[in-house]
Amino acid sequence: MSFQVSKVNDVTVIEVEGQLIVGNRNELKKKVLEKIELGEQTFVIDFANTAYIDSSGLGVLVSLSKKIREHGGELRLSSLSEDLRTLFELTKLDTLFQIAEDKERALEGF
Amino acid sequence: MSESTGGDLVLEIPTDIHSISGAVDYVLSRCSSSEVSARKLNLNFRVGLTEALANAMMYGNDHDPSKSVVIEVVMGRDHVQATVRDQGSGFDPGSVPDPTLPENLTRSYGRGLFLMRELLDELWFNDCGNEVTLILRAESCSTFEGGASA
């Protein structure tokens, strides 16, 4: 996995490439926590180039969402493939996250 | 990772969560002759096998690198089957709470077994709970049909 981090207005956008799985989930967690420590509050994590997320990856997203909310911020997700959306729906995490069709839509209204 | 004969494919891999992705990719590359669709292999079977290996390494073997995990794969014409065995003392799969209940939804763990049950056609544990067998059939009506009980 690798990820690209950019800033759009005041929103930190993280584009995840590859797989977000048990072997690399902490890389994403560390990056977001660093940004929170720097005072960033609003995040979009984009999965347009993500092949697969396992249960540990889902767990990290839940954990980060809680942490961001504790700091008064908000996390939105975007660009889930049909397969990834299925995993969110099965686990009912689609009810926990705001999920946008693409990152541009995710950025709207922040 | 070592390979030996026995089932259609038998692998023994060390306890290292970074090795899971490569092992799953390798197993899937060997399942192409099955009538199970590529999409079901790449979602249902990939999820099931990944979660089984992660559970075996993290909870079964407790991240102990001196312990290993054995995968036995049987590739039938109309199904694929994988048995994952760790060197731990096992667990009671019935004790794992439903992660979709409102009180569990914000937990950062506990979704692996649930996904396996949802996405595979059959899921069997041995008596002590340190071995799980996953079966995915070709004839399931939809990509996401599963609903295994264990």
ipTM at complex level = 0.90
> How far is B58 from A42, CA to CA, in rounded Å?
32
Q: Please report, as a single letter, which amino acid is at residue B102.
A: P
Of B21, B100, B111, the CB nearest to A55: B111
pLDDT digits (tens, 9 = 90+) for B72-87: 999 988 999 999 999 9
Q: What is the pLDDT along chain A (110 residues), one digit of tens a residue?
A: 788 999 999 999 999 999 999 988 999 999 999 999 999 999 999 999 999 999 999 999 999 999 999 999 999 999 999 999 999 999 999 999 999 999 999 999 88
Residue A15 C-alpha, separation from nearest chain B C-alpha, in angstroms: 20
Measured between beta carbons, which residues in chain A are less than 8 angstroms from residue B39? 83
From B61's Cα to the closest Cα of chain A, the distance in A is 15
Q: What angle do CA B92, B103, A63 make, to 5 degrees?
A: 90
d(CA A78, CA B43): 20
Q: How far apart are CA A77 and CA B65, in angstroms?
A: 35
For A13, the domain range is: 2-107
Better-predicted residue by pLDDT, B34 or B138:
B138
Which CATH number fits the domain that encloses residue A52?
3.30.750.24
How many Cβ pairs closer than 8 A exist between chain A and B? 71
- What's domain B2-137's superfamily in CATH? Histidine kinase-like ATPase, C-terminal domain (3.30.565.10)
Say whether residue B103 is in contact with chain A using an 8 A CB cutoff: no
For chain B, the domains span 2-137
Q: Say how far apart CA B33 and CA A62 lie, in whole Å.
A: 38
At B99-149, the pLDDT tens digits run: 999 999 999 999 999 999 999 999 999 999 999 999 999 987 445 655 665
Residue B82, beta-bridge partner list: B73, B134
Please list, residue by residue across A72-83, b when 16 or more beta carbons sit within 10 angstroms of its beta carbon and e when fewer do. Answer: ebebbbbbbbeb
C-alpha distances out from residue A42 to A11, A77, B30, B71, B72, Å: 5, 11, 43, 42, 45
Q: How many domains does chain A have?
A: 1
Return the pLDDT at A46.
97
